[in-house]
Structure 1
Amino acid sequence: MLAGHRITDTHTLFVRNIQDLEEGLTLAPLPVEGWEIELAGLIKPSRLVVHAEELLEMEQVEYEMVLQCSGNGRSQYRDIPGIPWNQGGVGNVRFRGVPLSAVLEKHNVTIDSQVKFVTAEGRDLPTGRELPDMEHSLPVGDVLERSILALELNGEALPGIHGGPVRLVTPGFFGTMQLKWLSRLRFETSESTCFYHATEYRVPLSPVKAGERFRFTLENSRPTWDIRLMSYILDPEQGATLGTGEVTVSGVAYNDGKARLESVLVSFDEGRSWQSAEFETPESPFAWYQWTTRTTLEPGVHQIWSRALDYLGRSQPLDGSVYWNPNGYEWTGVYKTEVTVS
């Protein structure tokens, strides 16, 4: 469903909720009226309530961006618990909303110089007594530079299932950091100690062996903030049967938006040789690049690989399992698909 579409249709976009807002389990928008977002912490004034209706009257910006679950590709790792995501937890969408920096300026909010993080809370509730409510901390610099209070998705009012009526969106970050049903922002000197931020959505700072036990702390791990460099082959699909002759191979590639992609390479001989694909750089650094290349394949079974490189020198490893981690996050290995030519 991702092939051939620059923008992923809202009705086919993946949904991943750790916790639910009962009235938000719908593709219909939730009413903006009466929705409030509290700002608190090391700011002056120390507490501010923003009414969502006022956001509708402010100037808005739009980001075309990749929205990806940090567990996308988890099934490529071995011995990992959790939802066995393959490669479908990703899409390219357009979010529109009001920059948080503009809201702060409008209300003359000043931020203490000691603040390092902004912790976002949603209105959702814990799904069980044993787990806390979900919240995430983001670096204050990134938040002030590009976070928006999103009101629209793909040109329409933000659906409840995707975090409406207001969602904190920070392009370049994984989906879990795009907090749904935004109700509160705390300006703080340290990261949240919430289970979901301090333990669950983290990866170790140093490599660990596959299957090794690891006890997460704020000191020995980092949050799943920045999207990793990745490419996908969308056409032909895995397991496709093709006729002999020229074959067109196409897909998408993207990163965290910190540097342009330098190239997308495609191999038809399991990495022994590579050819460059053609692509156009999107206007938004946070959007995915659509690429295509052509070759002629003889009858038989073939593996097709794709690999992206960017101008920071980053590339997809041939074996993504070198980044094995106990939560199965941030898969970034070379994409491989198998087809049959008859």
Structure 2
Amino acid sequence: LLAENRITDKSILFVRNIQDLDIGMTMEPVPLEGWQIELSGLIRPYRVVFHAKELLDMEQVEYEMILQCSGNGRNEYGGIKGTPWDQGGVGNVRFAGVPLKAILDKYKIEVDPQVRYITAEGRDAAMGLEKPDLEHSIPIADVLERGIIALRLNGEPLPGIHGGPVRLVIPGLFGTMQIKWLTHLKFETAESPNFYHATEYRVPYTLLQPGEKFRFTLENSRPTWDIRLMSYILQPLPGAILTAGQVTISGVAYNDGKAPVESVLVSIDHGKSWTPANFDIPESLYSWYEWSIEKNLAPGNYEIWARATDALGRSQPLDGRIFWNPNGYEWTGVFKCDITVE
């Protein structure tokens, strides 16, 4: 399905909620009427509340961008609890909304120079009386540079299931940081100690052995902020049986948008040799690059590999399990696809 259109339709876009909101469990828009957003913390004035409907009168910007669950590819690590994602937890979408910087200007809000993070919270409730609520802290530089309060998805009002009526969106970050049903932004000097931010959606600074126990803290790990470099083979599908001769291999590649993707290499001999694929450079560095290559394949069994590199010198490891972590986040290994040619 991901191969059919450049922009991922809302009907097939993955859904992953840590917490739910009753009125948000719909593919239809959620009304803006009565929805308020609060800004507080180290700002002047110290607290500002505005109606989300006011955003409709402000200029909006649109980003074509990757929306990806930080657990996408978890299955590749093997034996880790959690949603068993292969490559379905990702899409290429267009979010449109009002830059947070413009909102600060509109309401004449001054941010204290000491602020290092903006902590975002939505209206969704904790999943039980003794369960923590969800919030995430994001570096203020990222939020002010490109963060928007999104009102639209793929040219339509934002559906409830995808965070409508308003969602915090920062291109280049994993989906868990794109807070749905946004109600509160806190301007702070330190990361939130909230369970989900401080101990759950994190990866260790050090490499671990598969199965190794690890107790997450703010000091020994980092949040799942930036999307990792990745390439996928979308055609042919794993397990495909093809006719010998000319075969088209195609897919997508992407990263966090901090630098262009420079190459996608394809191997059909377990990495002994690599051939560059052709790809188009998208207008938005935050979206995916569509690539393809033609291969003349004789009868036999093949394992196709795809590997991307970018202008920062980053590349996908041949074995992504080198970055094994207990939660199975941020898979970035070379994608492999088994096919049979007859």
Query: Which range, TM-score by smaller chain?
Result: over 0.9
Cα distance, 1:251 vs. partner? 0.2
- The alignment's TM-score, normalised by the length of structure 1, stands at 0.99
Q: Which amino acid aligns with 1:60?
A: Q
Whole-angstrom CA distance in 1 between matches of 2:200 and 2:154: 30
What do the CA deviations read for 1:45-88 (whole angstroms, capped 9, x no partner)? 00001211110000000000000000000000023111111110
1:257 maps to which residue? 257
Q: The residue matched to 1:56 in structure 2 has which SS? A: helix
1:164 maps to which residue? 164
User: Is the counterpart of residue 144 in structure 1 residue 144 in structure 2?
Assistant: yes
What do the CA deviations read for 1:280-321 (whole angstroms, capped 9, x no partner)? 110001000000000111111111000000000000000000
Q: Which runs of 5+ in 1 are unaligned?
A: none
What do the CA deviations read for 1:103-161 (whole angstroms, capped 9, x no partner)? 00011100001100000000000112232110000000001000000000000000000
1:72 maps to which residue? 72
Cα distance, 1:4 vs. partner? 3.0
- The alignment's TM-score, normalised by the length of structure 2, stands at 0.99
CA contact (8 A) 1:37 1:183 kept: yes
Q: Which amino acid aligns with 1:113?
A: P
Whole-angstrom CA distance in 2 between matches of 1:279 and 1:298: 25
Cα distance, 1:243 vs. partner? 0.5
CA contact (8 A) 1:64 1:284 kept: yes
Whole-angstrom CA distance in 1 between matches of 2:84 and 2:166: 29
Whole-angstrom CA distance in 2 between matches of 1:206 and 1:223: 14
Q: The residue matched to 2:270 in structure 1 has which SS? A: coil
Percent identity over the alignment is 67
Q: The residue matched to 2:302 in structure 1 has which SS? A: strand
2:308 maps to which residue? 308
1:12 maps to which residue? 12
1:2 maps to which residue? 2
What do the CA deviations read for 1:14-49 (whole angstroms, capped 9, x no partner)? 000010001100000000111100000000000001
Whole-angstrom CA distance in 2 between matches of 1:128 and 1:321: 34
Cα distance, 1:257 vs. partner? 0.1
1:32 maps to which residue? 32
Whole-angstrom CA distance in 1 between matches of 2:221 and 2:163: 27
Q: Which amino acid aligns with 1:311?
A: A
Whole-angstrom CA distance in 2 between matches of 1:39 and 1:213: 38
Q: 4+ residue runs of structure 1 moved beyond 4 angstroms? A: none
Q: The residue matched to 2:57 in structure 1 has which SS? A: coil
Q: The residue matched to 1:150 in structure 2 has which SS? A: strand
Q: Which amino acid aligns with 1:69?
A: C
Q: Which amino acid aligns with 1:305?
A: W
Q: Which runs of 5+ in 2 are unaligned?
A: none
Q: Which amino acid aligns with 1:271?
A: G
Q: The residue matched to 1:291 in structure 2 has which SS? A: strand
Q: The residue matched to 1:337 in structure 2 has which SS? A: strand
Q: The residue matched to 1:75 in structure 2 has which SS? A: helix
User: Is the counterpart of residue 335 in structure 1 residue 331 in structure 2?
Assistant: no
Cα distance, 1:233 vs. partner? 0.2
2:187 maps to which residue? 187
Whole-angstrom CA distance in 1 between matches of 2:291 and 2:78: 29
Whole-angstrom CA distance in 1 between matches of 2:184 and 2:216: 26
CA contact (8 A) 1:78 1:210 kept: no
**Superposition map of 1:72-151 within 5 A:** 72-151=72-151
Whole-angstrom CA distance in 1 between matches of 2:117 and 2:233: 37
2:154 maps to which residue? 154
How many residues of Structure 1 are paired with residues of Structure 2 in the alignment? Answer: 342
Q: Which amino acid aligns with 2:254?
A: Y
- RMSD between aligned residues: 0.6
Whole-angstrom CA distance in 2 between matches of 1:275 and 1:49: 55
